[in-house]
Amino acid sequence: MVKQDRAVRTRQAILAAAAKVFEDRGYQAATITEILATANVTKGALYFHFESKEHLAQGVLAEQDQRLVVPARHSKVQEVVDTVALHAHRLQTDPMVRAGVRLSLDQQATELDRSGPFLRWSEIVLGLLEEARGELLPHVVPSETADVLVGSFAGVQAMSQIISGYQDLDRRVSQLLRHILPNVVLASVLATVDLSAGRGAAVYEEASRAATAPERAVLTAG
Amino acid sequence: MVKQDRAVRTRQAILAAAAKVFEDRGYQAATITEILATANVTKGALYFHFESKEHLAQGVLAEQDQRLVVPARHSKVQEVVDTVALHAHRLQTDPMVRAGVRLSLDQQATELDRSGPFLRWSEIVLGLLEEARGELLPHVVPSETADVLVGSFAGVQAMSQIISGYQDLDRRVSQLLRHILPNVVLASVLATVDLSAGRGAAVYEEASRAATAPERAVLTAG
Q: Strand, helix or coil at A136?
A: strand
Query: How far is residue A184's CA from residue A138's CA, in Å, rounded to a whole number?
Result: 9
Residue B66 — pLDDT band, cuts 50, 70, 90?
low
More confident site: A26 or B213: A26
The verdict on B52 and B98 lying in the same domain is no
Task: Give residue A83's pLDDT.
Answer: 94
The verdict on B154 and B120 lying in the same domain is yes
Residue in B118, B160, B183 closest to A183 by CB:
B183
Q: What Rg value do the Cα atoms of chain A yield, rounded?
A: 18
Average pLDDT over residues B91-104: 90
Residue A216 in this model has a pLDDT that exceeds 70:
no
Query: How far is residue B222's CA from residue A128's CA, in Å, rounded to a whole number?
Result: 45
Q: Do B148 and A159 touch (CB under 8 A)?
A: no
Number of domains in chain A: 2
Strands of B15-115, DSSP E? none
Q: What is the ipTM of this complex?
A: 0.88
The verdict on A114 and A40 lying in the same domain is no
Task: Give residue A218's pLDDT.
Answer: 45
Domain housing B23 = 2-61
Query: How far is residue B129's CA from residue B30's CA, in Å, rounded to a whole number?
Result: 38
The verdict on A150 and A190 lying in the same domain is yes
Residue A69 covered by a domain: no
Residue B67 — pLDDT band, cuts 50, 70, 90?
low
The verdict on A56 and A82 lying in the same domain is no
Q: Do A152 and B147 touch (CB under 8 A)?
A: no
* Among A148, A150, A178, A183, the residue to mutate for chain B (most B Cβ within 10 A): A148
Task: Give residue A102's pLDDT.
Answer: 87
Q: Residue A185 forms beta bridges with which residues?
A: A136
Residue in B25, B151, B156 closest to A159 by CB:
B151
**pLDDT per position as a tens digit, A116-171:** 889 999 999 999 999 999 999 999 999 999 999 999 999 999 999 999 999 999 99
**At A22, phi and psi to the nearest 5?**
-60, -40
Residue B205: give its domain's CATH number.
Answer: 1.10.357.10
Average pLDDT over residues B75-97: 93
Q: Tell me how far the alpha carbon of residue B75 is from its chain's centroid.
A: 22
The verdict on B80 and B140 lying in the same domain is yes
The verdict on B57 and B81 lying in the same domain is no
Residue from A191, A147, A200 nearest A171 by CA: A200
